[in-house]
Amino acid sequence: MGEDPIGFDSGDFNFYRYVENSPIIFNDSAGLEAYNCTAPLHALGGSGLKSGPDLWGNPLYHQYSCVKINGKIVCGGQDRSDGPYSPGKPSKDTFNPKRCKKRKSNTCFEKCLIEKWKQPRPDYGLIGPGTNCQEYDDDANDDCFKKCLGKDKWTK
């Protein structure tokens, strides 16, 4: 029934929006937990946290997000159905504390991501047409941050 523990860091002056302005009816017993995660791209022989580098020296990795809801951590992201340019599908990611970084969140944000993960995925593409895992995850996070925290973009 308390105010949002992240206070003004939520980007909102309303400290009860995290429980949809109803602290008596709703609660955030899961505790403001959202995670940005990476995994190696096995197709490129990656191991550890990242694969790569790409042609420009940047590390390559699979990116997805996880949220803790009712004590259970669920994850979602973008994968491909077949080759590098094929229909997108939900990734089968799991939470790994060595590959995931906790970040600020609220109940609205967590619910928003879960709803995004239920929607059909865009076509998958590495470069050019299509949406890769990093673009999909960044777009989902940006949309939910804008909706729930009033910010244009989230920061990793």
Question: How is the chain split into domains, by residue range?
Answer: 30-148
CA-CA distance, 98 to 117, in Å (whole number)? 23
| The pLDDT of residue 31 is above 70 | no
pLDDT digits (tens, 9 = 90+) for 102-142: 987 888 889 999 999 999 999 998 777 889 899 999 999 99
Q: Which of 7-11, 14-18, 26-30 has the highest mean pLDDT?
A: 14-18
pLDDT digits (tens, 9 = 90+) for 64-89: 999 988 788 999 999 988 877 899 99
